[in-house]
Amino acid sequence: MKPSISTLPQAMPAQFPFSALLALAMTGFICIVTETLPAGLLPQFAQGLGVTPAMAGQVITAYAAGSLLAAIPLTIATRRWRRRRVLLLTITGFLVFNSMTALSSGLWMTLAARFLAGVSAGLAWSLLAGYARRMVPVHQQGRAMAIAMVGTPIALSLGVPLGTWIGTAVGWRSAFGIMSALTVLLIGWVLASVPDYPGDAGSEPMRLHKVFTTPGVRPVLATVVTWMLAHNILYTYIAPFVATAGLLARVDTVLLVFGLAALAGIWVAGRLVERHLRAAVLASLALFAVVALLFAWLGHLPAVLFAGVALWGASFGGAATFLQTALADTAGSGADVALSMNVVAWNGAIAGGGVLGGLLLDRWGAPSFPWALLLLLLAAFGIAWSARSHGFRPGARTAGTAATGH
């Protein structure tokens, strides 16, 4: 297998490219806030569009559907394009489709705009990790990815509550207008600081089946699905779960604790990913499993719940960095295609978490969540543990990639 295009040392900068990586992080921030902003503003959406709250909730489904359907085909279609051109295309998509959402007067136009915004997100998520890896030498790739992924916990901890507050104060259309303004600033930032790289100029196209059957790719994707399914059951239905501890009025505080702990987890991930990726993945899954047990036994106690949420956030913070690094290392020259599969797996877990969590809530109530989480996390731990030869190799990742020619 030829060296990954994501690891070739093309025009490496003399200094660590903090500004360029933070521009990628800002792209991820916009992806997350665009996706989750309607969740806190559904009553306003329903009133503004003249529909029921349940129908208004489909604007979230439309976004996820766009990401799921577009990530793989668009990644393959644009693999030969210059990388900054593709990045600017995704950001411009957010500008256009968030503006459409802000100006829309009907449900169907809003759904179309949200679907197309999800298409932009699907392409963006399949691009960001590989882009970050190309900016630095192999031994700095994990650190670079940790910085490029920091937009996600910042969006979840600060961006979403702030966007909800703005939307409540001045209207949901204004909130999406502000998102469009941020994308204009981001376009200038990318043009000023993000280096450009050629696409994959190889004559042989990377086939989807070939990437999927590369040793180690399927175990990493299976770990993504089981880990993120457990996470999203709890995150999607955090309000009814914290209500069992009498904290329904403090959901915003609970989410803030989670987000700040996730930021700490991102920092830890940057320190561990190069030399201890396998151990860090297993430790994160084990810690989340301990939290699930803690919630099962003592989740009705507010102090225990806050402590558990902090540990949960810390275990989740490095997930994107660890999993995408392992997937890109394992896939080699098919890294970009594999990362597009990761987008599908991740968004599928988001949708699955909503469905499975809703079924659990209706049938057994929120106290059933920890036991479901525990089963999923034990499965994820078993998959990651067994992927010792391919997927989650022990030792320093730079040594592993060098040994395999990735």
Domains of the chain: which residue ranges? 18-193, 208-395
> 334-369: per-residue pLDDT in tens?
777 788 788 888 878 877 887 788 888 888 988 999
> 83-138: per-residue pLDDT in tens?
999 999 999 999 999 999 999 888 899 999 999 999 999 899 888 878 988 898 88
Mean per-residue pLDDT, 295-311 = 93
**Does residue 13 carry a pLDDT above 70?**
no
Tokens 């086939």 map to which residue?
A: 207
Phi, psi angles (nearest 5°) of residue 6? -80, -10
Mean per-residue pLDDT, 302-316 = 94
Q: For residues 89 and 84, what is the distance between their CA atoms, to the nearest angstrom?
A: 8
Please, are residues 175 and 166 in contact by the beta-carbon 8 Å criterion?
yes
142 versus 227: which is more confidently predicted? 227
pLDDT band at 279 (very low <50, low <70, confident <90, very high): very high
Amino acid at 272: L
Q: For residues 287 and 403, what is the distance between their CA atoms, to the nearest angstrom?
A: 31
| Of 2, 104, 29, 10, the residue nearest 62 (C-alpha) | 104
Q: Do domains 18-193 and 208-395 have the same CATH topology?
A: yes
Amino acid at 213: T
**Does residue 239 carry a pLDDT above 60?**
yes
User: Residue 383 has which token pair?
Assistant: 């998959």
Question: Which CATH architecture best describes the domain 208-395?
Answer: Up-down Bundle (1.20)
Q: For residues 107 and 380, what is the distance between their CA atoms, to the nearest angstrom?
A: 39
CA distances from 108 to 38, 42, 364 (A): 15, 16, 35
**Does residue 205 carry a pLDDT above 60?**
no
Mean per-residue pLDDT, 76-89 = 90
Q: Pick the range with the lowest mean pLDDT from 49-53, 76-80, 237-241, 362-366.
A: 49-53
Cβ-based neighbours of 80, under 8 Å, separated by 6 or more: 199, 200, 201
Looking at CATH, the fold of the domain delimited by 18-193 is given as: Growth Hormone; Chain: A; (1.20.1250)
**Does residue 53 carry a pLDDT above 60?**
yes
0.75 exceeded by pTM: yes
| Of 258, 232, 254, the residue nearest 244 (C-alpha) | 254
User: H helices of 37-171, where?
Assistant: 42-49, 53-56, 58-77, 83-103, 107-134, 141-148, 151-154, 160-170
Phi, psi angles (nearest 5°) of residue 2? -70, 160
pLDDT band at 400 (very low <50, low <70, confident <90, very high): very low
pLDDT at 6: 39
Tokens 């525990």 map to which residue?
A: 374
Please give the mean pLDDT across all residues of the chain: 84
pLDDT at 232: 84
